[in-house]
A and B are shown apart, each in its own frame.
Chain A
Amino acid sequence: MSDVRLQSVRKVYAGGVEAVKGVSLEIADGQFCVLVGPSGCGKSTLLRMVAGLETISGGTCSIGDREVNEIEPADRDIAMVFQNYALYPHMSVYDNMAYGLRNRGTPKDEIDRRVREAARILEVEPFLERKPRALSGGQRQRVAMGRAIVRKPKVFLFDEPLSNLDAKLRIQMRVEIKKLQRALGTTSIYVTHDQLEAMTLADQLVVMNKGQVEQAGAPITLYERPMTIFVAGFIGAPPMNLLDLPASGLPGLSLASPVSGPVTLGVRPEHLELSTEGGALAVEVQVTAVEAVGAESYIYGALGGQGPEIIVRIPGRDLPAIGASLRAIARSENLHFFSRETGIRLN
């Protein structure tokens, strides 16, 4: 068993700054957990505490059935992939992968077998004798992954491993990481600020903000039922339209069943459709900008002519003229209501 359990883990830095404010999380054996959030939300700190690179100020962290708070990183049975790969520049690819095993006194033929197997899986066999600087970014990334998998650790930790790659390679490596993790069945924790990466990789998606977990669960659950305004605005691209509704209502916006009190209404651009019929929500927008991205287009408009901005996604490239007035509706199951004071979901 190699599940990871965090119980009200806290990190307080010497200056009194609390980077992580009591995070409790359970990551089941073999699960792919993605921590996502804006920069400075404590996600990397949390990962580094699991790795043992940061001390834990409060709470406990266990891997398997062992509490690891006081255990050295090398003895936690984890492997980490760093954002800048952190390959040893003076060692060949082979030595980079073998180094950790050698330090643990693994027999030579066993090291050789494991390194060659990892190289085969990651398709870096032709480069085994090269130095990292003679490799491309994608190849370095593979070597960094190879260094992690040869150790056969209980947990993989990824710290924004794809953010140094170009967009195309990032998508390709994302798919490969997922495949590899499935094949090996190793519990993984992955930190990213890219919500698309987070959505596609995660079994369990954890959205963090200001050192706290906003919501954790299956990616699709977070997409369909964000529990806070923050999660609603963070997950999805383009972001969800969030409208602060005063008790008197907004001009150009009509709800089939009016809500009372100061609430924030959320509706995703992809859930708005251009229609003249009635819906649970109907908005009148005046087009201010349009973006055609190929299969679909985004219309940016001002609610009721001068109100807050609303984004509507429409299929195809049949774009309305700037300044035109449109009417869009959404169904009731796609409406999200949040308390304006607490940011918590109401419906």
Chain B
Amino acid sequence: MVQRRRLLDFLPHLILLIGVAVVAFPVYVAFIASTWDAATISNGSMPLRPGPHFAENYYRTIFIGTSSSTREPVGTMMLNSLIMALTIAIGKIAISLISAFAVVYFRFPFRMTAFWIIFVTLMLPVEVRIFPTYKIVADLKLLDTFAGLTIPLIASATATLLFRQFFMTVPDELVEASKIDGAGPMKFFVDTLLPLSITSVAAMFVIQFIYGWNQYLWPLLITTKDNMQTIVIAIKKMIVTQDALTEWQLAMATAILAMLPPVFVVVVMQRLFVKGLVETEK
């Protein structure tokens, strides 16, 4: 019996460990590659232990950048990505909170129509409406600006639906108590609804920050200037396919750097994130 139990304890762990290895090993290799010099990587004999060029490679990546392909230090790109991801995440949350508030708590004409129109946009992600959206942004002279990069991505049916679902679980009596306590709609929103939504907001922030950070197609279209590039695009650009030598150590360092902010956000928000998805503070 004891033997069998041990086996049953061991087996799931083994499977999980294999899963972790499958996910983590490429990341590990990327990190190792970012600590060797270009010659060691390109001759195909890179060892699986950290190399001596860690500081040098990361300094070059962050402050100088590759010599040919991106022509801009990755530090700038990280800043660009950060501004884009934060603007998208915060913008999405702000707009969704307000629209969900309107849909749930106000009885205006065509309320359900408005709700369904928002709902239908789930079927129209940026990729589907990319040409008209590009045209609008271009006509508004928003190419190569942060506004052009973020605003078209801000409208979010997902977040609106999530907040709507959450708001509908808030007891009606709280609204009524607020009315009797002399709080108007906006005061109710700020004093009661927002504090109660904090965990949902955190969950949404994690999801939308990563969504924003990982944007590839849209920034590729909208940005043409070197100093507007985002880090995700830079990784692709650094891996040159022509005869030029790919500076693999820098590309790998960029990949590692690109991973850090989303990981940081997930780690910091983890507890709130899980709480926001599974329970509510009521």
Hey, which bits of chain A sit against chain B, CB under 8 A? 51-53, 72-75, 78-80, 82-90, 99-100, 103-104, 147
Contact = CB atoms under 8 A, between A and B. Distances in A.
B182 A80 contact: no
A82 B187 contact: no
Interface stretch (B171-179, B205-213, B226-234, B247-255): B171-179
A99 B282 contact: no
B181 interface: yes
B173 A88 contact: no
Nearest to A72: B179
Most chain A CB within a 10 A radius of its CB, from B182, B196, B281: B182
Contacts of B177: 80, 82, 86-88, 147
Given A72-B179, A74-B181, A79-B180, A90 B196 contact: yes
Contacts of A100: 180-182
B194 to A, nearest CB: 9
B192 A88 contact: yes
Contacts of B281: 89-90
A86 B187 contact: no
- The 9 nearest A-B residue pairs measured at CB: A86-B173, A100-B181, A74-B182, A103-B182, A90-B195, A86-B177, A82-B173, A73-B179, A73-B180
B176 A80 contact: yes
28 contacts: A52-B179, A72-B179, A73-B176, A73-B180, A74-B180, A74-B181, A74-B182, A78-B180, A80-B176, A80-B180, A82-B173, A82-B176, A82-B177, A83-B173, A84-B171, A85-B173, A86-B171, A86-B174, A86-B176, A86-B177, A88-B191, A90-B192, A99-B183, A100-B181, A103-B181, A103-B187, A104-B182, A147-B181
A85 B177 CA distance: 9
Contacts of B180: 51-53, 73-74, 78-80, 100
Given A74-B182, A99-B181, A103-B181, A89 B176 contact: no
Contact of B282 (A52, A78, A79, A89): A89
Contacts, number: 59
A1 to B, nearest CB: 21
Contacts of A103: 181-183, 187
B179 A74 contact: yes
Contacts of A78: 180
Contacts of A85: 173
Contacts of B174: 86, 88
Nearest to A104: B182
B179 A84 contact: no
Given A73-B180, A78-B180, 17 more contacts: A53-B176, A53-B180, A72-B179, A73-B179, A74-B181, A75-B182, A82-B173, A86-B173, A86-B176, A86-B177, A90-B195, A90-B196, A99-B181, A103-B183, A103-B187, A147-B177, A147-B181
A104 B174 CA distance: 18
A85 B183 CA distance: 17
A147 B183 CA distance: 14
A52 B175 CA distance: 13
Contacts of A52: 179-180
A72 B182 CA distance: 9
A103 B187 CA distance: 9
A311 to B, nearest CB: 38
Contacts of B173: 82-86
Nearest to A98: B181
A114 to B, nearest CB: 14
Contacts of B176: 51, 53, 73, 80, 82, 86
B45 to A, nearest CB: 60
A88 B181 CA distance: 11
Contacts of A74: 179-183
A147 B281 CA distance: 21
Most chain A CB within a 10 A radius of its CB, from B176, B177, B182, B192: B177
Contacts of B182: 74-75, 100, 103-104
